[in-house]
Amino acid sequence: MNVKALPVVEGKFNLKNYDETYKGFDWSEAEKEFSWSETGKVNLAYEAIDRHAETYRKNKIALYYKDDKRKEKYTFKEMKDYTNQAANVFKDIAHVEKGDRVFIFMPRSPELYFALLGAIKTGAVVGPLFEAFMEGAVRDRLEDSEASVLVTTPELLPRVPVDELPHLKHIFLVGENIKEEGKYHHFNKKLKEADTKFDIEWVDRNDGLILHYTSGSTGKPKGVLHVHNAMVQHYQTARWVLDLQEEDVYWCTADPGWVTGTSYGIFGPWLTGTSNVIVGGRFKPESWYKTLQDFGVTVWYSAPTAFRMLMGAGDEIVKRFDLSSLRHILSVGEPLNPEVVRWGMKVFNHRIHDTWWMTETGAQVICNYPCLEIKPGSMGKPIPGVKAAIVDDQGNELPPHRMGNLAIKKGWPSMMKTVWNNQAKYESYFMPGDWYVSGDSAYMDEEGYFWFQGRVDDVIMTAGERVGPFEVESKLVEHPAVAEAGVIGKPDPVRGEIIKAFIALRDGYDANDALIEEIRQFVKNGLAAHAAPREIEFRDKLPKTRSGKIMRRVLKAWELDLPTGDLSSMED
165 close to 562: Cβ distance less than 8 angstroms:
no
Q: In angstroms, rounded to a whole number, what is the distance separating the alpha carbons of residues 19 and 406? A: 21
Angle between helices 285-294 and 304-312 (to 10 degrees): 110
Q: Does 365 bind ligand PRX (CB under 6 A)?
A: no
Q: Which of 113, 240, 288, 357 binds ligand PRX (CB under 6 A)?
A: 357
Q: SS3 of 65, please?
A: strand
Q: Which of 412, 452, 522, 538 binds ligand PRX (CB under 6 A)?
A: 452
**Segment contacting ligand PRX (CB under 6 A): 130-138, 270-278, 340-348, 435-443?**
435-443
Site string for ligand PRX, 203-222 (x = CB under 6 A): -----------x--------
Q: Which of 60, 350, 410, 455 binds ligand PRX (CB under 6 A)?
A: 455
Q: Which of 81, 440, 471, 473 binds ligand PRX (CB under 6 A)?
A: 440
Please name the helix (run of DSSP H) or strand (run of DSSP E) that holds residue 113, with its range, or none.
Answer: helix 110-121
Q: In angstroms, rounded to a whole number, what is the distance separating the alpha carbons of residues 15 and 357? A: 19
303 close to 333: Cβ distance less than 8 angstroms:
yes
176 close to 109: Cβ distance less than 8 angstroms:
no
Q: Does 334 bind ligand PRX (CB under 6 A)?
A: yes
C-alpha closest to that of 237 among 199, 271, 211: 271
C-alpha closest to that of 267 among 91, 246, 190, 276: 276
Q: Does 359 bind ligand PRX (CB under 6 A)?
A: yes
Q: SS3 of 568, please?
A: coil
Sequence-distant (6+) residues with CB within 8 A of 466 are 214, 215, 359, 459, 460
Please list every residue from 369 through 408 that binds ligand PRX, using CB under 6 A.
Answer: 379
Q: Does 528 bind ligand PRX (CB under 6 A)?
A: no
Q: Which is nearer to ligand PRX, 479 or 500 (CB)?
A: 500
Q: Does 335 bind ligand PRX (CB under 6 A)?
A: yes
In whole angstroms, the minimum distance from the beta carbon of 393 to ligand PRX comes to: 17
**Segment contacting ligand PRX (CB under 6 A): 242-250, 438-446, 469-477, 524-532?**
438-446
Q: Which is nearer to ligand PRX, 207 or 334 (CB)?
A: 334
Q: In angstroms, rounded to a whole number, what is the distance separating the alpha carbons of residues 187 and 129? A: 17
In whole angstroms, the minimum distance from the beta carbon of 463 to ligand PRX comes to: 11
Please list every residue from 250 through 279 that binds ligand PRX, using CB under 6 A.
Answer: 259-260
In whole angstroms, the minimum distance from the beta carbon of 257 to ligand PRX comes to: 11
Q: Does 340 bind ligand PRX (CB under 6 A)?
A: no
Residue 549: φ, ψ to 5°: -85, 130
Cross-strand pairs, 490 = 498
How many Cβ atoms from other residues are within 10 Å of residue 456's Cβ? 17
Q: Which is nearer to ligand PRX, 73 or 417 (CB)?
A: 417
Please list every residue from 463 through 522 that binds ligand PRX, using CB under 6 A.
Answer: 466
What residue ranges bind ligand PRX (CB under 6 A)? 214, 259-260, 332-335, 354-359, 379, 438-440, 452, 455, 461, 466
